[in-house]
């Protein structure tokens, strides 16, 4: 008897695979164990070989559908192609990245299949063959678990950088599938032009200086900026500091902001509310500085210092001068 299939829909970003795809494949492998068959579903042109960017992450199978119209296909056309594949293969669950593209294709497919879709998930697990998706709710104040017990396939979108992509030695089987491409005439993509953006975001940085309420003064922020520059990193903030003119939602760390896992994060004046912790708890090295010895941030920190954040920051910066 064949194993139930767990799909990851591979997303392309122009001529490459969107990194969230590799992150989801890694998570899918952990979820599947020996009980499920992980499949990366890839739509590409006849001359493309994007599967080469997926093999290293060890899906059991890479199922390719080729058509020269796929690189510029609309989200509706991709959803239609997926519906055909689902009908013929009947997967147990399908995972998408919660990217602009994933957030467009997934609900279109969900409506076609009349099944359930949990959006913007921060964790996934299986209870027997039921997918349990964890996501923030009620204004990001609680984490809830959502299931779809009566309909298949189960579907979820997952925020980028929620999981870490891990190359593996496993060899993926590459197969091909055939669908009928149904053009959507009312909307066509004529060209795709990359947006040139060389700026490093807090989600891309390998070193992050994170600031909370206890490090919100202008003087402290200026010192933190200098420290981040010395470290070759970026400033990140908790939700309250996004109200300041100097910061935006792009700088926010946490379940309603960015999920990050840098090699080093220095937390200053951050108490460690669960909404913040879920966005950075997988960082390789976590340093916490807070005047409250009972602050929850110390529970996840590798190194902690109880004291004034600004004074500690100034002392640390002096070591570089």
Binding site feature residues for FAD: 213, 238-239, 252-256, 290
37: left (phi over 0), alpha (psi -120 to 50) or beta: beta
CA–CA separation, 52 and 69 (whole Å): 20
CB atoms near residue 50 (< 10 Å):
20
3-state secondary structure of 131: strand
Q: Which of 42, 280, 17, 10 is nearest to 161 (CA)?
A: 280
Binding residues: 213, 238-239, 252-256, 290
β-strands 264-268, 303-306: how paired? unpaired
Q: Which of 250, 248, 238 is nearest to 200 (CA)?
A: 250
Structural tokens at position 314: 């100034």
3-state secondary structure of 93: strand
Secondary structure letter of residue 78 according to DSSP: H
Phi, psi angles (nearest 5°) of residue 269: 65, 25
CA–CA separation, 86 and 92 (whole Å): 10
């Amino acid at each position: 008897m064949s194993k139930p299939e767990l799909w990851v829909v591979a997303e392309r970003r122009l001529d490459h695979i969107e990194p969230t795809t590799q992150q989801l494949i890694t998570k899918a492998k952990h979820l599947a164990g020996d009980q499920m068959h992980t499949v990366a579903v890839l739509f590409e042109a006849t001359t493309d070989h994007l599967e080469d960017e997926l093999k290293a992450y060890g899906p059991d199978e890479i199922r390719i559908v080729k058509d020269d119209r796929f690189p510029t296909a609309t989200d509706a056309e991709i959803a239609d192609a997926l519906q055909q594949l689902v009908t013929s293969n009947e997967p147990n669950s399908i995972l998408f990245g919660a990217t602009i593209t994933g957030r467009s294709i997934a609900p279109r497919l969900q409506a076609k299949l009349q099944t359930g879709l949990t959006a913007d998930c921060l964790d996934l697990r299986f209870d027997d063959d039921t997918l349990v998706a964890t996501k923030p709710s009620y204004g990001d104040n609680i984490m809830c678990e959502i299931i779809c017990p009566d309909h298949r396939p189960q579907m979820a979108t997952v925020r980028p950088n929620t999981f870490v992509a891990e190359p593996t030695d496993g060899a993926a089987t590459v197969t091909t599938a055939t669908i009928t491409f149904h053009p959507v005439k009312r909307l066509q993509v004529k060209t795709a032009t990359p947006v040139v953006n060389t700026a490093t975001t807090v989600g891309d940085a390998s070193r992050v200086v994170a600031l909370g309420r206890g490090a919100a003064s202008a003087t402290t922020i200026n010192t933190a900026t200098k420290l981040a520059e010395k470290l070759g990193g970026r400033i990140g903030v908790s939700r309250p500091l996004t109200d300041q003119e100097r910061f935006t939602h792009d700088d926010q760390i946490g379940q309603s902001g960015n999920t990050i896992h840098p090699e080093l994060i220095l937390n200053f004046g951050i108490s460690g509310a669960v909404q913040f912790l879920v966005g950075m708890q997988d960082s390789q090295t976590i340093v916490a500085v807070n005047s409250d010895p009972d602050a929850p941030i110390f529970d996840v920190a590798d190194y902690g210092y109880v004291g004034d954040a600004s004074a500690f920051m100034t002392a640390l910066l002096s070591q570089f001068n």
